[in-house]
Amino acid sequence: MTITKEYLQECSHVYQKAAKNVKSRIVVCAGTGCVANGSLEVFNLLVEKITAAGLDVQTSLHYENSDSGDAPFLHLSHSGCQGFCQAGPLLSIQPEGLLYTNVKVGDVEEIVEKTIKNGGVIERLLYTDQTTNRRCMGHKDITFYQRQQRLVLAQCGNFDPEDITEYIANGGYEAARRAYTEMKPETVCEEVKVSGLRGRGGGGFPTGRKWELTLKEKNEKKYVICNADEGDPGAFMDRSVMEGNPHSVIEGMMIAACGIEADEGYIYVRLEYPLAVARIRKAVDDAAKAGILGSDVFGTGRAFTLNVMEGAGAFVCGEETALMASIEGNRGMPQPKPPFPAQSGLWGKPTVINNVETLATVPLILLHGAKEYRKIGTESSPGTKTFALTGHVVNTGLIEVPFGSTLREIIFDIGGGVIDSAGNIVNDQFKAVQIGGPSGGCLTEKHLDLPLDFDSLRSVGAMVGSGGLVVMNKSTCMVQMARFFMQFTQNESCGKCLLCREGTKQMLSLLDDIIAGNGTQETLDLLDVVARTVSKGSLCALGKTAPNPVLSTFRHFRTEVESHVFHKRCPSGQCKALAKVEILSDKCKGCTACTKKCPVNAITGERKLPHRIDAEKCIKCGECFKTCKFGAIIGL
């Protein structure tokens, strides 16, 4: 079957007919976070309880019987990640614009009876703004959503990611149709080039330029690869797009294939993303069954087929040459460049590799025009960027903002502010943000008003990376944070080049010395030399950027590092070996409970009089701290 403009319009018409009698649409978030918290159980019980209440409910629209009957019904469906992960599981009701948060199985019966049947609102399930103590009825009332500009994520929380007809009804595959039937490959590349779109995987290379270079290569066989091997700790942007809007990724790949004259593509997904894998596989199958993918794309006689491959979870396979080696059945290890993938990529053929977010952005550019797209963001970094916002912040979750937004806007407006370990807002306790994951660096209070874009971040020794944002308050030890990322990169090093394999191991060992109180000036000097050597001499981007967290910690928190080394003190009190354990005389009751628990007899004192700890004997095991009922022991 040939897919034409009329066919896409007919699909949209079929969807509208099937949905014309929907009284209310109930959408349950089925992103990984909400699923882990029980949203599927909520969904299944909703079906049961709504049916038991005598109401007509459809969990998928009946397109084949769209003309039968005019009785109103409820449409209950899944969605991908709605972004507000802190408040999940989420349940929204349209057109009422109602959003319920932290929905549990035990809430279902009340939701059906009070809201679905009678139109009432359950106040306790509404989100409460912590700064104003105001109840919010829906997305439009919540600051977390108000301050974003959701383009790539616009449909992720609104429609069923497993319904290709709904995707088409919302303009899906129209951009790909235009590319294949109305544009030349050179025109496609030029439009993306004019848009200024830069790769969202971290490097920020101009996407149109990459496509243009691949188009110029003369070869009968070319490939398009979607790099969905998202491995940064705390990052889940690509996963959420694949779970919430998989067809947008496929459409982006089709446009890329048209632009470079490729006839085959691969989506390389992490094995640890089972839900994303399932949904992207179904989307590929549905697109093939519909005739959108196949041997005659949009009646042009050109072919494009897609394969989905699961990666084994190696972080290094996010590097494009290692990823291609893995697809070819070899061990995922980086190769020297040049040649670049545009010249000799998968199986030696010209290949374009883009990440999920980049590809999902492409259809928007062709639909609305490159000039319109450039109105968003900054001159050198047009468009929006998704971030995974985590750490010591009120609202954690998935966000999307225009390039040029500041950390202050993200943390204090969208994020709701900085919190302490008890969840209390303590905005004066902001310390730093780790941006870009293991490849990125720290941004401090002086960077709160720095516009976030590729070039401004590079100027302060950081990078956008894939989009992880970890907010830290003043209880965080920056040496331990640097160690955390170094441990990760050391574990994930493929071992091919000496500098990365041994250098990351040595940096980790030197950081351990500092945390253990064994650091010296020589330790600092050696750590600096090794970090810069690994950065300059490693083969791939993993090794070259592995020292970034260490170097940025040295740059922005030198005093804290030197306190560990020269004063044997951890300012945040997190390094156990450097903790100074004391008994507060004004709080100690002389009950002797701690003396009985101390395994090394380091605590002395008479009953009913303040006790003392011998620092020489103390092994900092924490038994006294756990035993004391009066909060008299500090430093542990």
Q: Is residue 453 classed as helix, strand or coil in its secondary structure?
A: coil
Distance of CA 23 to the CA centre of its chain: 34
Rounded Cα distance between 520 and 511, Å, is 11
pLDDT at residue 1 in the model:
63
Closest Cα to residue 582, out of 515, 517, 631? 631
Strands 264-270 and 223-228: parallel
At 516, the pLDDT band (50, 70, 90 cuts) reads very high
Give helix 498-515 / helix 558-566 axis angle, nearest 10°.
60
The two tokens of residue 404 are: 């040029």
Rounded Cα distance between 450 and 457, Å, is 8
Q: How many CB atoms lie within 10 A of CB 168?
A: 23
Sign for the pseudo-dihedral over CA of 121, 123, 127, 133: positive
Q: Please write the tens of the pLDDT for every residue from 87-126.
A: 989 999 999 999 999 999 999 999 999 999 999 999 999 9
pLDDT at 390 over 70: yes
Residues contacting 42, CB < 8 A, separation 6+: 28, 89, 91, 103, 104, 105, 107, 108
pTM of the model: 0.90
pLDDT at 200 over 80: yes
Tokens 């949209």 belong to 12
Work out the burial of residue 65: count CB atoms within 10 Å of its CB; fewer than 13 is exposed, 13-18 middle, 19 or more buried: exposed
pLDDT at 67 over 70: no
- The torsion angle over the Cα atoms of residues 562, 564, 569 and 574, rounded to 10 degrees, is 130
Report which of residues 410 and 230 the model is more confident about. Answer: 410
Strands 264-270 and 305-311: parallel
Cβ burial 411-441 (10 Å sphere, 16+ → b, else e): bbbbbbbbbeeeeebbeebbbbbbbbbbbbb
Domain 17-139 superfamily per CATH: Glutaredoxin (3.40.30.10)
The two tokens of residue 154 are: 């616009």
Question: What is the identity of the amino acid at 221?
Answer: K
Rounded Cα distance between 108 and 106, Å, is 6
Rounded Cα distance between 495 and 472, Å, is 31
pLDDT at residue 274 in the model:
93
The two tokens of residue 63 are: 């397109």
Report which of residues 56 and 313 the model is more confident about. Answer: 56
Residue percentage of the chain with pLDDT more than 90: 75
The CATH fold of domain 580-634: Alpha-Beta Plaits (3.30.70)
Tokens 């999940």 belong to 88
Contacts 24+ apart (CB under 8 A), 452-460: 452/385, 452/401, 452/403, 452/404, 452/405, 452/406, 452/407, 452/410, 453/377, 453/378, 453/380, 453/381, 453/403, 453/404, 454/198, 454/204, 454/380, 454/381, 454/403, 455/380, 455/381
- Does the N-terminal peptide bond of residue 610 adopt cis geometry, omega within 30 degrees of 0? no
pLDDT at residue 157 in the model:
86
The CATH fold of domain 479-566: de novo design (two linked rop proteins) (1.20.1440)
At 5, the pLDDT band (50, 70, 90 cuts) reads confident
At 374, the pLDDT band (50, 70, 90 cuts) reads very high
Contact 24, 116 (CB under 8 A): yes
Give helix 558-566 / helix 478-492 axis angle, nearest 10°.
90
Least confident of 37-51, 171-185, 537-551: 537-551
At 233, the pLDDT band (50, 70, 90 cuts) reads confident
The two tokens of residue 183 are: 């544009």
Question: What is the identity of the amino acid at 310?
Answer: E
pLDDT at 66 over 70: no
pLDDT at residue 201 in the model:
83
pLDDT at 2 over 80: no
| CATH architecture assigned to 384-476 | Roll (3.10)
pLDDT at 68 over 70: no
pLDDT at residue 130 in the model:
80
The two tokens of residue 195 are: 């848009």
Cα-Cα end-to-end distance for the chain: 70
Question: What is the identity of the amino acid at 488?
Answer: F
- The CATH code for residues 164-373 is 3.40.50.11540
pLDDT at residue 318 in the model:
87
pLDDT at 271 over 80: yes
Question: What is the identity of the amino acid at 181?
Answer: T
Q: How many CB atoms lie within 10 A of CB 325?
A: 20
The two tokens of residue 158 are: 């609104």
Average of pLDDT values for 54-66? 86
- The torsion angle over the Cα atoms of residues 345, 349, 350 and 354, rounded to 10 degrees, is -50
- Domain extents for the chain? 17-139, 164-373, 384-476, 479-566, 580-634
pLDDT at 380 over 90: yes
Contact 477, 575 (CB under 8 A): yes
Angle at the Cα of 480 from the Cα atoms of 479 and 486, rounded to 5 degrees: 90
Highest mean pLDDT among 234-243, 356-365, 416-425: 356-365
Average of pLDDT values for 313-333? 91
Sign for the pseudo-dihedral over CA of 213, 215, 216, 219: positive
Rounded Cα distance between 485 and 419, Å, is 22
pLDDT at 63 over 80: yes
Q: Any idea how long the chain is? A: 636
DSSP string, 273-316: -HHHHHHHHHHHHHHHHTTSSBSSGGGSS--BEEEEEEE---GG
Per the prediction, the chain carries an average pLDDT of 92
pLDDT at residue 592 in the model:
93
Rounded Cα distance between 51 and 49, Å, is 5
pLDDT at residue 464 in the model:
83
Residue percentage of the chain with pLDDT more than 70: 99
Average of pLDDT values for 397-413? 95
Distance of CA 168 to the CA centre of its chain: 26
Least confident of 167-181, 449-463, 510-524: 449-463
At 353, give phi and psi (nearest 5°).
-120, 120
Q: Is residue 231 classed as helix, strand or coil in its secondary structure?
A: coil
pLDDT at residue 181 in the model:
96
Q: How many CB atoms lie within 10 A of CB 71?
A: 8
Least confident of 149-163, 298-312, 536-550: 536-550
The two tokens of residue 519 are: 């650091």
Least confident of 66-75, 378-387, 602-611: 66-75
Q: Is residue 581 classed as helix, strand or coil in its secondary structure?
A: coil
pLDDT at residue 65 in the model:
67
Q: Is residue 35 classed as helix, strand or coil in its secondary structure?
A: helix
